[in-house]
Chain A
Amino acid sequence: MATTTAAVTLTSDLLSDNMSVSASTTCMKAGTTADGLDQMEYAYVNLVTGDEYDLIAATPTASKASKLYLKNHSIDETYFVAITQGTQAIGKLYAGDWMFIPADFHDAAGEIAITANGGTNKICYALFHEGITLNASA
Chain B
Amino acid sequence: MSHFSELDFSTLVALAAVFCALSAHLSVKLARLRRRTVQLKTANDLLKEHYTALQKVVDHPTIPEKYKERLLHFSEIISDEKAFADLLQQVVQEDLYRDNEAKGYAKNLAQLRAQDPDLAEAFSSAVRSGVAAMMLRYPSVEEILESTMARVYAAPRREGAVFAGAMRKSRSDHHNDHDHLAVAPA
Is A bound to B? no
Query: A residues bordering B, Cβ < 8 Å?
Result: none
